[in-house]
Amino acid sequence: MLRRTLLGVSILTLSATLIGSTFINYHDKAQAQLEPEKRTFSDWGSVKLISAGWIEDTMAVYHSDPNVNPDGCPTTDGGYATNPKDPGHSLFHTTILNAFINQKEVQLLISGCVYGKPRIIGVNIR
């Protein structure tokens, strides 16, 4: 009985270790794909306008503070945009919409360009 219990605990510990290390490796690889010097947070501010994509699952977001544009995207007055190919873009949409409806402030993490606009890769809300 004791051997069976110890074997079960060992298997659970090994499984948790493998899952944890897989998550950490995935997270590290995802972070490594972004150049740290090109990731920039906007200032905290309110969402002033949301424009949902025409034929793609995307969103343009207009923020109360001036746009940050670390990659020199060509559209400088069109707010920020989400990329439908980015993992998490639906969560960004939900968070931004929640902030807009509830009049909460957001801080956007920007990296790269999409549709000529600075690309949202993360959202903080308070």
Q: What is the CATH number of the domain that holds 97?
A: 2.40.50.110
Same domain as 59, residue 23: no
Q: How many CA atoms lie within 13 A of 76 on its CB side?
A: 6
Q: What is the pTM of this model?
A: 0.70
Same domain as 103, residue 59: yes
Strand, helix or coil at 105? strand
**CA dihedral sign, ordered 82, 84, 40, 98:** positive
Its domain, for residue 87, covers 36-125
Largest CA distance in the chain: 69
Same domain as 45, residue 26: no
What is the number of structural domains in the chain? 2
Helices (H), 33-88: none
Q: What is the pLDDT of residues 64-113, one digit of tens each?
A: 998 899 999 999 899 999 999 999 999 999 999 999 999 999 999 999 99
Same domain as 109, residue 48: yes
Same domain as 88, residue 40: yes
Q: What is the pLDDT of residues 7-54, one digit of tens each?
A: 443 443 434 444 444 444 444 444 445 555 578 999 999 999 999 977
